[in-house]
Amino acid sequence: MSQMIIANRLIDGLVIYMGPKGEWVGSISEGAVFENEHDAQRWLVVAQQAVEDSVVVDPYLIDIDAGGGKSLPVGARETIRAFGPSVRTDLLEDAEGNGG
Amino acid sequence: MGLIKEGKLVNDPFKNVSDCETVPAKGPVIVSIDQWMVRRDDLLKRSDLIGIWLKSDEHPETIAGDLAYLSLVALEFPSFRDGRAYSYARLLRDKYVFSGEIRAVGDVLLDQLHFMARSGFDAFEVESEDPLDAYNIAAADYSVWYQQTGDGRLSAAELRGKGIRR
Amino acid sequence: MYRYDEFDHKLVQERVQQFRHQVKRRLSGELTEDQFKPLRLMNGLYLQLHAYMLRVNVPYGAMTSRQMRKFAHVARTYDRGFGHFTTRQNIQYNWVKLEETPNLLAELAEVEVTGIQSSGNCVRNITSDHYAGRIKDELADPRVYCELLRQYTVLHPEFSFLPRKFKIAVTGSPKDRAAVALHDIGLRMHLNDSGKLGFEVLVGGGQGRTPVIAKTIREWLSPEHLMAYVEAILRVYNLNGRRDNIHKARIKIIVNQLGIDRYRELVDQEFDRIKGDVKGIPEAEIQRIKAYFAPPEYEELPDFTDKLSTLRLADKAFDLWMSSNVAEHKIRGYAIVNLTLKAPDRVPGDITATAMDAVADLADEYSLGEMRVNHRQNLVFVDVKQMDLHNLWQKLGPLELATPNLGQLTDMITCPGLDYCNLANARSIPVAQDINKHFVDVDRLIAIGDFTVNISGCMNACGHHHVGNVGILGVDKHGTEFFQLTLGGSSDEGASLGDRLGRALPQEEVPAAIEAIVDTYMDIREDDERFLDTYRRIGMVPFKEAVYGSADTKVVV
């Protein structure tokens, strides 16, 4: 199963994902997809360092369904974290401030 | 690490004696409640001050009858989340009328300093590079209290009653 | 309404200043998340699914228009334009930024509200009857004691790190609108044999994963001993409550383990020791606080009921609203108006900044500038002239605040659920919206009558599912959201916990199950019997058959 790293940004709490160079991005579409467990664990160490550095809070790995050309989270919880409350689609806004 | 008493960084005259150590011939010591029970007579023969260290599941009731011999009770916070020591301190002051030192030891989070001071603690083991500075910052946090706790400070309601305005 | 004096203001300002410093230390890395978390929680700041969530106390549910305008301002300036009223008479904001929180709290402090102890293992917002001070059947205004308890418990040095959270509710009326039996301490005013006003004290009630109806620890307590007695209960709990397992740490567990008689014995010993010393609150202070809750200067108004009857005859919609959302006021010519936050397609309890401003303006125009929020997530105008009711109704309609469903099946308590909450297993709000789609016939809803549906997205029970006539609990089954139904719960003066109906249902089957339960009830009820009474008389079997079919029933029973 493909994976991504999700966390909250410390300063504003918004949902962020780890990007391909270990940077943090506000949209799941820009997140790095790890195809194997070894890579995922290696980058999780980098994420832990970001916790130590007071940049992010509570990073962890999520399963990603990368079929169909788009990286989508598996399950309701991570879908809601990625795209906002399912009952308020009018509020869609990601950590980059991009309205939906 | 430093010991703060009456707003000052002080040298600790007491030695913490663990259960496997022997009690030194001279000098004030702090022992566990188990040691106190076992070596009570020997300790009382010494002429130096004695303190007892209570863990958070050790109720001061067990030493209530011995408080007259004790100069210090150290109440341990195994985690700053474990709030039993606040009640122990209140009981020591109010119920058992203990007037010796009540020392906060263990996970002493200075953000809770006011809670401790108001509950009856008067000495604090502070884990910090600059314990006095950390203490002073925390001590400046509050000047108004709603509750009476018998620590001598007047509650807001009492000040209102006296017609004192801030 | 209580107003802060310089002491109250100073304390809250000092609290904000302390938190400002703590946030600075967190952002600089001086504090770790583990150290910071309890500090932020005790100011009401959670980290949720989407961002930081701030929970702001509305003490005993009473608000001024000025406070409501500030809530609107906060929603607009610091959040995404809306807030959510909860069952603890709080308002929550869902996208608050950590670095902005100190400024936000400073702004709230200006209007005398805070997030202090809206979370953490301490005494939470004291809740009460939303009709307090305005309803005929009341013995005394509970808000006086709520405010005394608020001051007593805020930043209590001894009781800020209890084994677990602690909730207190007070009612001054025999009709319990504050769910006092579901609280760690419930206080119920009543007269003793010599006619003196005091409190029945209940202890050890609560919901969550182990729901318990509170037990009476003292039949009658004199008001002057309130603080000493509460202190005794809290001290016994602080010393004896379990700290080894978070799920067994609430007072209800230790009360059950020791037995209520033993717990009472411990409390009484402590109470006897301290009741002389805990001077508690000086009499002058009690009088000072009482004065704030003195009734407003009501006008001498004629009874307007006849004229209202004419208006009601002329307009069925107005008539429906009058029957369901308007309650009798103790003063002639006045009425209590419930503003339901339960429009069918809306999120229960949510309100936009625009609507908050409009509500504040309407409160100034029609309700002496005051309002309440109740534990069923609705707002209340407590001092409306009867002659203004029609005008007010017309203005509430466009704001979607006049849905005439108070106490009816569609007036559902709904927790934020998995759409917002870190703890949730399932989404609550879409279930409420689905049920609404099935119950659109107003006449049918009226025929059904009193019927509470309470929905929680997990076993923590923020949606009070245990005490809904129908309770709905979201559970996760291998990554899919399912819903477990219970029947027969109630949070009023005859409080009871719901019984499990049967196996959990997928979301799409929930509305049909509610339909089946309602149809069964309508078939077998006697006269105007409430659903709760029918259930208590008949029991589970016909409802179970209606939902699962008779074959299924045999297996499940």
C535-551 pLDDT, tens per residue? 999 999 999 999 999 65
Cβ atoms of B144 and C11 within 8 Å: the answer is yes
Q: What does the pLDDT look like over A59-88, one tens digit per residue?
A: 999 999 988 788 899 999 999 999 999 998
Beta bridge partners of C202: C186, C216
Contact C26 A54 (CB under 8 A): yes
Nearest CA among A57, A63, A56 for reference residue A82: A63
SS (H, E, C) C478-534: CCEEEEEEEECCECCCCCECCEECCCCEEHHHHHHHHHHHHHHHHHHCCCCCCHHHH
Q: In this predicted complex, what is the ipTM?
A: 0.96
Predicted local distance difference test score (pLDDT) of residue C555: 43
CATH 2.40.50.140 correct for B2-141: no
How confident is the model at residue C544, as a pLDDT? 97
Of A13, A53, A54, the CB nearest to C51: A13
Closest among C400, C395, C399, C393 to C345, alpha carbons compared: C400
Of A77-81, B18-22, C278-282, the least confident:
C278-282
> Does C159 contact A at CB distance below 8 Å?
no
- Average pLDDT of C43-64? 97
Kindly list the domain boundaries of chain B, sorted by start residue.
Answer: 2-141
pLDDT band at C471 (very low <50, low <70, confident <90, very high): very high
At C425 the pLDDT is 96
Q: Do A11 and C95 touch (CB under 8 A)?
A: no
pLDDT digits (tens, 9 = 90+) for C73-113: 999 999 999 999 999 899 999 999 999 999 999 999 999 99
Does residue B90 sit at the C interface (CB-CB below 8 Å)?
yes
Which structure tokens are listed for C428? 């609550």
In chain C the domains, ranked by start, together with CATH numbers, are 6-110 (3.90.480.20), 134-292 (3.30.413.10), 305-399 (3.90.480.20), 413-556 (3.30.413.10)
- Would an 8 Å CB–CB cutoff place A20 in contact with chain C? no
In this complex, which of A13, A58, A81 lies closest to C97 when CB atoms are compared? A13
Using the 8-state DSSP alphabet, how is residue B71 labeled?
S
pLDDT surpassing 70 at residue B11: yes
Q: What backbone phi and psi angles, to 5 degrees, belong to C264?
A: -60, -45
Whole-number Å distance between alpha carbons of C349 and C378: 7
Chains C and A touch (3+ CB pairs under 8 A): yes
Contact yes or no for B27/B13 (Cβ under 8 A): yes
Q: Which residues on chain C are in Cβ contact (under 8 Å) with A80?
A: 49, 418-419, 427
Q: Give dist(CA B26, CA B93) in Å, integer.
A: 29
Is C554 a residue whose pLDDT tops 50? Answer: no
Q: How confident is the model at residue B129 (pLDDT cuts 50, 70, 90)?
A: confident
* DSSP bridge partners of C474: C483
Summary mean pLDDT of chain C: 95
Q: Which helix (H) or strand (E) holds A28?
A: none
Over the stretch C216-253, which tens digit does the pLDDT of each residue have?
999 999 998 999 999 999 999 999 999 999 999 999 99
User: How far is A13 from chain C, CA to nearest CA, in Å?
Assistant: 4
Give first-to-last CA distance, chain B, whole Å: 36
To test the contact with chain B by mutation, choose from C239, C245, C251, C270 the residue with the greatest count of B C-beta atoms within 10 A, namely C239
> What are the DSSP calls for B99-144, one per residue?
-SEEEEEES--GGGHHHHHHHT--EEEE-SSSHHHHHHHHHTS-S-
% of chain C at pLDDT higher than 90: 95
pLDDT > 70: percent of chain C: 98
Lowest-confidence pick of B102-116, B121-135, B148-162, C367-381: B148-162
C228 touches C278 (CB < 8 A): yes
**Element holding C76 (H helix, E strand):** helix C65-78
Say if residues B115 and B138 touch (Cβ distance below 8 Å).
no
What residue spans define the domains of chain A?
Answer: 2-91
pLDDT at C551: 54
Would the pLDDT of C497 be above 90? Answer: yes
pLDDT digits over B39-87, tens only? 999 999 999 999 999 999 999 999 999 999 999 999 999 999 999 999 9
Grouping H, G, I as helix, E, B as strand and the rest as coil, residue B65 is helix
C278: confidence class by pLDDT, cuts 50, 70, 90: low
pLDDT of residue A100 exceeding 60:
no
Q: Which two tokens stand for residue C432?
A: 């409420």
User: How far lies C32's CA from each of A49, B27, B108, B147, in Å?
Assistant: 13, 39, 15, 31
Question: Is the Cβ pair C97, A12 closer than 8 Å?
Answer: yes
Compute the count of residue pairs across chains B and C with CB atoms less than 8 Å apart.
Answer: 109
Q: Which is higher by pLDDT, C556 or C217?
A: C217
DSSP C36-66: HHHHHHTTTEEE-SSSEEEEEE-GGGEEEHH
Maximum pairwise Cα distance, chain B:
57
Confidence of residue A98 (pLDDT cuts 50, 70, 90): low
| C-alpha to C-alpha distance for C275 and C111, rounded to whole angstroms | 35
CA distance linking residue B19 with residue B49, whole number of Å: 18
Contacting B with CB below 8 Å, chain C residues are 5-8, 10-11, 14-15, 17-18, 21-22, 35, 38-39, 121, 151-152, 154-163, 235, 238-239, 243, 273-274, 277-282, 284-285, 288
* DSSP code, position C347: P
What distances in angstroms separate CA C414 from CA C166, C337, C350, one per listed residue?
22, 21, 10
Query: Quick check: A84 contacting C, CB < 8 Å?
Result: yes
Task: State the average pLDDT over residues C5-33.
Answer: 96
Scan for tokens 């149809």, then name that residue. Answer: C519
List, for residues C412-459, the tens digit of each pLDDT value: 999 999 999 999 999 999 999 999 999 999 999 999 999 999 999 999
